[in-house]
Structure formats: structure tokens, C-alpha cells
Amino acid sequence: MMPPRLGLGFGLGLLLRKGKPARRTRDCRSVSLGGWRGFSSYSVEQFSDDEYECEFEDQKDMDNWKCHVCCEPNYHLVVSMGCRGIYLVTPCMSGRIGDRATSDVVVRLRTPEGRDNWVYCHSEILIEKSKYFADRLSENWPTCQILDSRNCVEVYCQELEFNSHVSLLRLLYLPEPHTWYGVRNTLGILQVAVNLGCHQMARACLDYLEAVPWEEAEEEEILRMVPTLGSQYEVILARLQPVDPMAITGIFISAFRFATSSPPCHLRELKTSVQEQLEYMLTEDDDIPLLSLRDAVLKSEVRNCVKDLLSRLDCVILSLSSMLQELLSLLSDIAWVCQILCKMEMMKDLVHYWVSASDNIVKALDCLNSDGNVLDSRLKVVEVTCKVLEAISSGNVILPTSSRIHVVNAWLPFARRTRLLVEPSAPVLDYDEDSPVDPDCEIGSPVKMDAEIWQVMESAFVSIVLTLPSEVQAEILAEWLKSEAARYPDLTEAFEVWCYRSKIAYRRCVFLKGRNT
């Protein structure tokens, strides 16, 4: 199917949907949609002054698609056909992408398979944001002109890269910050941005990829592509780099201590998982061993753990015979504001404030007595922190590595202590003697927290930890695995991913070095 030309005659906002119209308030009327190709028919039904229902029917075997269209000032429609079609809404800058009336340059996207799409653009935007287009549209470069006297720049790309080129052209018209569409799409946009000299766009892609979690398949794609882009983009690979042997030894010792401890019943599953990972770390296979079994310190620690384990066995055998209310009000308001900001995609400022104020908030609450009002306040802080962590872990708010490390170090212990206070029966180990919260305090408070909040926060912690450099992950996980610290949140998934990455890191690096040489 030939894709439609990119360009419509009037401003539109778009929400894609299938099926029959949900409501109808006016009679159907036809509206001209401009130069479409590849569709046998299209129609527009007007529901109200600013709402329409558009139906497009393809000439070939594709489902009918309906889109709910709302006219909005300074917005217009950009359409790029994929398997089912990609529909994007783009705000207007000095011109609107696809607006033939104001366009002074056409970007022809061409593929070896014969695809030839004309994208009506504006030289002012292309020159400002792309070195490639700035060079092509300069007086020193002979430019081709098409029949209607517009400058024309041809861009050749592979079929798999076509949608990334369309997305990049669309994003050039967007103000900061960009809204991304997942790791794979951002990776494709990054490659196009580097090739076309869109340095600001490439930096934004880099920041996003460095900050968000990856799936295993995405890791392989990143490893394949990033080294070809240049050394300045290798910071994206920080979480996949081999770990210093000392850090590996440290986390192995912490894990071994936990694996040979006697945790409560509710931690037996975690203990089993840790034992399995220790076995995996020591498995002999094609990968370079993570540990040096000749390490004297390692052997000494293992020996001490075994000795302690046997000693505990002996013991068991032998023993067989005024401002607080205002604070709570403010926290309740902030928790409510988070709900609103999330819906409006405006969490950035609150997240940055919460990160910078983390130490002060934690210190102030930990110094208070554990009465009912304080518990209410701690829970509201947990609720807000959960929203902040969720925004960071999902990539909706991009923070540098140092800030993400600070977030984990500040809020992970606080969340653990708060859950212990609110739910004394929650999964915990021996309490940390250095903590300002008294574990023997009989609270008897009916205060409870929605279990979903604890689960969301735990998942966010796991995701954020996995975005950190491998060395930092090792430090956090080693601390978590200490017998007095292995409690909520459960970082088992992060530990398993870290073990896997560390185990194959050397093989990956050897492969990359071989490709570069």
C-alpha cells in the first residue's frame, strides 16, 4: 500500500479508535482531507462544533480505522503508515509540518523498496535543529527544486528506519521536553538524529535511554547499535559494563552471609533465590568466572559463615529442652496534587523538589515520636514518594545518575522503616540498631496503607536500581543483602538481573572490542 502524503489543509488533534461512533449530535458532512493516496474512500461526520468522526477504508485487506478528531488551535495532523498506521499529533511552531501552504522545503524520504514520501517542512526549523539540513539548504550546496519552486532535500533510508525518520521530523517541531515512545523507538530516533546532525535531539535521546529500564531484548539492540554511534554515546552502556572484582567479591560475601543465615519463614523464598544466584555466579560455562576462588578474603568470609552456621546448629540442638497537624495537611495536599500533575504530565518540578528535599524530610520525620499523627504523616510521605519514584522509573521525568542514586539511598531505608512501623507483621529481619525508629514500640495504630502503593513503590525501586551503573548496583544490592537489611522492598529481581548482566559482561565487551577492531 502506498502511504498517504504527509499534509492536511486544516489543524486537527487526534485520538485513534476503532468501531462505531459513541454518539452523534449532527448530520454527517464531508470535509476535504487533502492529497491522500492508497485509500478508496474517506468520510467525516461532525458531532459538534469541534468534534468529528473520520473513517478511512483501505484499498487492500486492512481493517477499517476510525479516528476521533478534535479541532484545536495551533495543532495539526501528521500521518505515517506502518503495518496498521501511525497517527501523531504535533503542535505548531513557526510553521506546521505537513502544511503545504506555509512550507518552503520538501523532505523526500526514499527507501530501496521504492517508497517515496514527501514531507512538507520549513527551512527555519530544519536549519536550526539539524546540521545535515543546514548544510543541504545552504548557498554552498546546489539544491534541487520541485515543480512548485520549493527546495527539495532527498533523504535515503532503509525501510526499517522510515518511521524513525518521520518521528524525528515531527519531534523537530515539538518544544522541550519531548514525549518518548519506548526504548526501541527512541533508539531508532537516536540513530537518525546522529546521522542528520540533530545534536540536541540526540542528547535528549541519550538522557532518556540512560535513565529508563530496559528489557533483555532491548539490551541486545542497544549493544548492537550504540557502539556504532561514537564514544560520546557509550555512557548509555554504563549499566552493562563489567564490575570491578572487589565489588563482585563484596556482593558475593553479603549474599553468602544471607544465604547461610536463619531468616524468618516469610524470607525463605528470598533465601532460596539468593542461593540459586550464588550457584549461578559460580557455574562453569563459556563466560569468564565472576569470582577468583583463590581470593583469600573471600575464602575467609565463606569459612566464617559456615562456622557461624554450624554454631547455630549446635545451639538449636542443645536448646531442645502542634505543627504536626499542619504538616499532615500539607502532605495530604501534595499527595492530591500528585494525582493531578500525573494526569497533566507535569510532575517534573515536584520530582526535582522532592529529590532535593529528601534528606531533610527523612531526617525530620525520623526524629519525631512514633504516635498516630506521625504515622499518618509518614504514610503521606510514602504516598508522595511513590508517585515521584514512579515518574522517575517510567522515564516521565529524566534525572541524572547522581540524583537517581540519591533517591534510592534516601528513600529505600525510609520506606522499609515506615512499613515496619505500620505493619509490624510485615516481612522483616532483625531490626537495625542504628535506626532512629524503635522496633519494640507497640503502636497499636489502625493506620494502614493500600497494599498497591507498597507494590508500586517496590517495583519502582527495582526499575531505578537497574538503571544505575553496575558498580553502584553492586553497592546497593550488597547492602540490601545484609541479614539485617534484607527486607522490604524486595530487590530480588534487580539482584537476578545484576547477576546475569555481570556474568555475561566480559563476553559482551570482548564481542564489542572485536567489532571495533
DSSP secondary structure code for residue 240 in this structure: G
Query: What pLDDT does 511 receive?
Result: 64
188: left (phi over 0), alpha (psi -120 to 50) or beta: alpha
Taking the chain, what is the end-to-end CA distance rounded to the nearest angstrom? 42
Cα angle 59-64-65, degrees, rounded to a multiple of 5: 120
pLDDT of residue 512: 65
pTM of the model: 0.65
pLDDT at position 121: 93
Predicted confidence at residue 371, as pLDDT, reads 66
Count the Cβ atoms, other than its own, within 10 Å of residue 317.
Answer: 8
Best CA proximity match to 490, nearest among 274, 249, 228: 274
Q: What is the pLDDT along the chain (517 residues), one digit of tens a residue?
A: 333 333 333 333 333 333 333 332 223 233 333 333 333 334 444 444 444 444 444 434 334 333 433 333 333 333 333 333 333 333 334 568 888 888 889 999 999 999 999 999 999 999 999 999 999 888 877 666 655 556 889 999 999 999 999 999 999 998 775 667 789 999 999 999 999 999 999 999 999 999 999 998 999 999 999 999 999 999 999 998 888 888 888 888 898 888 888 778 888 889 889 888 888 888 777 676 677 767 778 878 887 887 786 676 566 555 544 567 767 777 887 887 787 788 767 788 889 889 988 988 888 888 776 666 688 889 989 999 999 999 999 999 999 999 999 999 999 999 998 988 887 655 443 444 444 444 444 444 455 678 899 999 999 999 999 999 999 999 999 989 885 656 789 999 999 999 999 888 877 776 666 665 5
What does 130-186 look like in DSSP terms, one character per residue?
-HHHHHHTSTTS--EE-TTS-EEEEEE--GGGHHHHHHHHHHTTSPSSPPP--HHHH
> What is the C-alpha separation between 373 and 363, in angstroms, rounded?
17
What is the spatial order of strands in the sheet that 65-70 belongs to?
13-17, 65-70, 51-58, 39-48
Please say whether the beta carbons of 491 and 415 come within 8 A: no
CA distance 4 to 30: 19
Q: Where are the beta strands (DSSP E) in 74-135?
A: 75-80, 86-91, 105-110, 116-121
pLDDT tens profile 48-70: 444 444 444 443 433 433 343 33
Dihedral angle sign, alpha carbons of residues 182, 95, 151, 129: negative
Q: Among the residues of 435-469, which ranges form H helices?
A: 451-466
Predicted local confidence at residue 440, as pLDDT: 43
Give the list of residues 6+ apart from residue 306 with CB closer than 8 angstroms, or none.
260
